[in-house]
Structure 1
Amino acid sequence: MKGVIIVVVVLAIQLMVEPGSAISCGQVDAALAPCMPYLTGGGNPAPKCCDGVKNIKGMASSTADKRAACNCVKAAANRYPSLKDDAAQALPNKCGVEMNIPISRTTNCDNIN
């Protein structure tokens, strides 16, 4: 129940972000929330997870947005010690999404163009 409340709060925050503003960690966290079972347990990502990955790609169109999304993903990955790095790195490919934003705890986000 606590997780549902957190997701609802994150989604509410996401709706408050003005269109055209930089991508926020709230948006990234909300998009990747359905991916947690896959990221911590492996297997295949759920369709809602892949929808979230596609949404992040769509939101992160500028270099600044890509770097911001990268930093958000990196921060989220570091909050979950049970996150499997190999599953995280394979996520875009498993969802059929070509991403310029690596999902890793150690990515240098300043190198993203």
Structure 2
Amino acid sequence: MEMAGKIACFVLLCMVVVAPYAAALSCGQVTSAMAPCVPYLTPADRKTACTCLKSAANAIKGIDAGKAAGLPAACGVNIPYKISPSTDCSKVQ
């Protein structure tokens, strides 16, 4: 539900930004703009993203685990797991 709220806010932001430059914003334009993010809404893709982040955390030697875990918040992104070599991505939903 939280992701849906973020998407709705993003769509609204797009509408506000684009509206002064276009006669009308179509649903097709909004859908096209959001299309790259839609796969993240499925559990399988969230697990894949988790696995990628975990692999990246494992690949970087000397990584500060505390800073890695805080990276999403520092970037203004909310993910349902922490970036850590010990994260169990099979439990990500």
TM-score, length-normalised on structure 1? Answer: 0.45
> Does 2:71 correspond to 1:91?
yes
Contact 2:57 2:63 in 1 (8 A): yes
Counterpart residue type for residue 97 of structure 1 = V
Q: Once the 2 structures are TM-superposed, how far is the Cα of residue 101 of structure 1 from its aligned partner? A: 3.9
| 2:6 equivalent in structure 1 | none
> Does 2:45 correspond to 1:65?
yes
Contact 2:81 2:87 in 1 (8 A): no
Aligned length: 56
Counterpart residue type for residue 108 of structure 1 = D
Q: Once the 2 structures are TM-superposed, how far is the Cα of residue 60 of structure 1 from its aligned partner? A: 2.1
Larger radius of gyration: 2
| 1:75 equivalent in structure 2 | 55
TM-score, length-normalised on structure 2? Answer: 0.54
Counterpart residue type for residue 48 of structure 2 = A
Equivalent pairs: percent with the same residue? 34
| 1:29 equivalent in structure 2 | none
In structure 2, how many angstroms separate the alpha carbons of the residues matched to 1:60 and 1:100? 12
| 1:108 equivalent in structure 2 | 88
Unaligned runs of 5+ in 1: 1-57
Contact 1:66 1:100 in 2 (8 A): no
Q: Cα RMSD over matched residues?
A: 1.4
Q: Once the 2 structures are TM-superposed, how far is the Cα of residue 102 of structure 1 from its aligned partner? A: 2.3
Task: Spell out structure 1 runs of 4+ moving beyond 3 A.
Answer: none
